[in-house]
């Protein structure tokens, strides 16, 4: 797996969203895309991040920025998460970790001295031509919509 770097093309993908609809990078040609990876639906930090993106969604849309989430949870979990928190964006169900691995956000983590495999919270800002213009490696979940907007400036 090649490391993704700013200024290079984003890895192409084809995946399934919460509704079982196919979603691919090519769908966003001509648009700015914030592809954000997070560990788990309806957990405290992930919910704060998703709700911040929900609250900033209209402002991001005015700037031509589309938000898409990705986590290893299944479609059913995403539907509940979206419904419960009134999320206005699509979420990819990457249960087989193909997209997570392609973007280098799946790996060994450690909590309380215990090692496990999981998702590194990271956001890739992709321009209209499919080029990664910024990688937000440690998003501040409370102001993530602002970070995304600033990243495209």
pLDDT at 100 over 70: yes
Residues 6 or more apart whose Cβ sits within 8 Å of residue 120:
37, 104, 105, 106, 107, 109
pLDDT value of residue 3: 80
| Distance separating alpha carbons of residues 68 and 66, to the nearest angstrom | 7
Q: Which CATH number fits domain 28-151: 3.30.70.270, 3.40.50.1000, 3.40.30.10, 3.40.1360.10?
A: 3.40.30.10
Give residue-wise pLDDT tens across range 105-142. Answer: 998 888 788 898 899 999 999 999 999 999 999 999 99
- Are 71 and 105 in contact, with CB atoms under 8 Å apart? no
pLDDT at 1 over 70: no
What is the CA angle 134-6-1, rounded to 5? 120
Q: Is 77 helix (H, G, I), strand (E, B) or coil?
A: helix
Q: Tell me the two tokens of residue 60.
A: 């991001």
Mean pLDDT of 73-102: 96
pLDDT at 2 over 80: no
Catalytic residue among 15, 46, 50, 148: 46
Give residue-wise pLDDT tens across range 6-58. Answer: 999 999 999 999 999 999 999 999 999 999 999 999 999 999 999 999 999 99
6 to 15, 20, 45, 121: CA distances (angstroms) = 23, 30, 26, 17
pLDDT at 91 over 60: yes
pLDDT value of residue 97: 95
51 is catalytic: no
Three-state SS for 15-62 is EEECCCCEEEHHHHCCCEEEEEECCCCCCHHHHHHHHHHHHCHHHHHH
Mean pLDDT of 65-75: 97
| Distance separating alpha carbons of residues 46 and 42, to the nearest angstrom | 7
For 54-64, letters b (16+ CB in 10 Å) and e give bebbeebeeee
């Amino acid at each position: 797996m090649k490391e993704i770097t700013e200024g290079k093309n984003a890895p192409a993908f084809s995946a399934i969203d919460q509704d079982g609809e196919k979603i691919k990078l090519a769908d966003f040609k001509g648009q700015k895309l914030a592809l954000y990876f997070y560990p788990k639906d309806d957990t405290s930090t992930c919910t704060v991040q998703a709700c911040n993106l929900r609250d900033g969604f209209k402002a991001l849309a005015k700037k031509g920025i589309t938000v898409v989430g990705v986590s290893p949870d299944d479609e059913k979990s995403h539907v509940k998460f979206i419904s419960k928190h009134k999320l206005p964006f699509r979420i990819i169900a990457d249960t087989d970790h193909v997209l997570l691995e392609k973007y280098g956000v799946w790996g060994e983590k450690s909590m309380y001295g215990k090692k496990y495999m999981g998702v590194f919270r990271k956001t890739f800002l992709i321009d209209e031509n499919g080029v990664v213009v910024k990688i937000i490696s440690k998003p501040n979940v409370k102001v993530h919509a602002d970070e995304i907007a600033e990243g495209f400036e």
